[in-house]
Structure 1
Amino acid sequence: MTLKRACSLLTVKSFSEDERVITGIASTPSPDRDGDILEPEGAEFGSAIPFLWQHDHSRPVGQCTVRRVSEGLEITATLAKPVPDMPSQLVARLDEAWAAIKTGLVRGLSVGFRPHEYTFLDGGGLHFLRWELMEVSAVTVPANAECTIRTIKSYDR
């Protein structure tokens, strides 16, 4: 099996302009719209996971950290801020991602993962028991409605 994706919704709670940080639930033990289940306890992940725009590996927008919580896997993503010498295309992507998230136009979180162990579910779908988290993305259309971004914040100077 190759790289798979699973999605969740995010809800904007607050934000400011200086620091671009979001938190949310990226995976729960509930079935997604495809009938698949990602077991949060079976997730393997490192200390810094790429945060992508719309699952496009050529369009990173930040980094995130992951921790296990009672609802599943919680991510904290820091979106990069433009700096003066950045190429204009990168500045446009970073600003587009931040604006779309903070206004609620893009409310989905989605994980890209590599399965290591899974079982087939009655009625279709897969139950991923062990899997490696490769990336988390902000996406327009999510699959798992239980996963939400809980906060969007920045710290004003």
Structure 2
Amino acid sequence: MNYLTRAGEFELRDISPAKREIAGLITTSAVDRYMEIVEPRGARLENYLKNPVVLLNHKSWGLPIGKNISLEVHGDGLLARTQFADTQEGKDTYRLYSEGFMKAWSIGFLPRAWKDAEGEAGYRRRYTDWELLEYSAVTIPANPDALSNMLSGVESPRIREALEENGRTRNAGLDAQVRSLRSEVDAVREYLGMNERTAEDHHPDHGELSARIQYILQNHFGIHIRENNA
């Protein structure tokens, strides 16, 4: 299997302003947006620790924005201490994290072994053995509405460009999702209206209606409804 990335939003555990260091989980055993689990205890860290650079948005062709100071499995997550570089990009990124504008980290890894879920496990796949290649600061705002405040204090052109691009991508994605959701809700309304116009003794297909509603809940809101057959 090829190189994969997985991002998540995690709380900071420690901040050291004098050294521009922050500590926090960069991944956990929680189910991610791909309905997969990356087991922290399955991480191979040896090769990464030989050159522990921290990147911006997985851009390996750019200069690193920092380096890893320590890395260990802690509880159900991978706890990393990051020192940001004494560059404008490093300083800007440190400020965005330390002030709470950004909380997301993303790992880049090479899967070695995994198990696909069976039945209603609540996830699709579990990676039990994987090699960490790098981890990145990702310019996903903790509060998307605070993007203008984030940009006001950022001097690095590279960081500004990444934040602005993220905002444009997010808005385009939300617009597309809203259009799709409206279309699906209209289809449900049309289906209900069609059944109202039928004969009084006609019973609507509740199975089809349930399937339509469950699709909307799962596809747009991540809500999975399990039927109780008892």
The normalised TM-score by structure 2 is 0.52
Q: CA deviation at 1:15?
A: 4.3
User: What's the C-alpha RMSD, in Å, of the aligned pairs?
Assistant: 2.2
Instruction: Give me the whole-angstrom Cα distance separating, in 1, the residues matched to 2:134 and 2:80.
Output: 11
Equivalent residue, structure 1, for 2:100: 104
Amino acid corresponding to residue 111 of structure 2 in structure 1: P
Equivalent residue, structure 1, for 2:8: 8
Query: What percentage of residue pairs aligned between the two structures are identical?
Result: 26
Q: CA deviation at 1:22?
A: 1.0
Unaligned runs of 5+ in 2: 142-230
Greater length-normalized contact order (CA 8 Å, ≥ 6 residues apart): 1
Unaligned runs of 5+ in 1: 82-90, 143-157
Q: CA deviation at 1:11?
A: 3.0
Q: CA deviation at 1:60?
A: 1.2
Q: CA deviation at 1:13?
A: 6.2
Name the one with the larger helix percent. 2
Larger-Rg structure = 2
Name the one with the larger strand percent. 1
Amino acid corresponding to residue 45 of structure 2 in structure 1: F
Question: The residue matched to 1:130 in structure 2 has which SS?
Answer: strand
Do the aligned residues in 2 keep the contact of 1:25 with 1:71 (CA within 8 Å)? no
Q: Deviations over 1:6-45 (max 9, x none)?
A: 1222335664542111111122222111111111111000
Do the aligned residues in 2 keep the contact of 1:105 with 1:140 (CA within 8 Å)? no
Question: The residue matched to 1:115 in structure 2 has which SS?
Answer: strand
Equivalent residue, structure 2, for 1:152: none
Change (3 A) 1:27 1:16: closer
Q: CA deviation at 1:95?
A: 2.4
Do the aligned residues in 2 keep the contact of 1:49 with 1:134 (CA within 8 Å)? no
Matches within 5 A, 1:1-150: 1-12=1-12, 15=15, 17-46=17-46, 47=49, 48-57=51-60, 58-64=62-68, 65-81=70-86, 91-122=87-118, 125-141=124-140
Q: CA deviation at 1:130?
A: 0.4
Instruction: Give me the whole-angstrom Cα distance separating, in 2, the residues matched to 1:49 and 1:130.
Output: 20
Q: Deviations over 1:19-78 (max 9, x none)?
A: 111111122222111111111111000335221112221241111131011122111111
Change (3 A) 1:52 1:115: same
Instruction: Give me the whole-angstrom Cα distance separating, in 2, the residues matched to 1:72 and 1:109.
Output: 12
The normalised TM-score by structure 1 is 0.73
Amino acid corresponding to residue 99 of structure 1 in structure 2: R
Instruction: Give me the whole-angstrom Cα distance separating, in 2, the residues matched to 1:99 and 1:22.
Output: 10
Change (3 A) 1:120 1:13: closer
Instruction: Give me the whole-angstrom Cα distance separating, in 2, the residues matched to 1:16 and 1:29.
Output: 26
Count residues with an aligned counterpart. 133
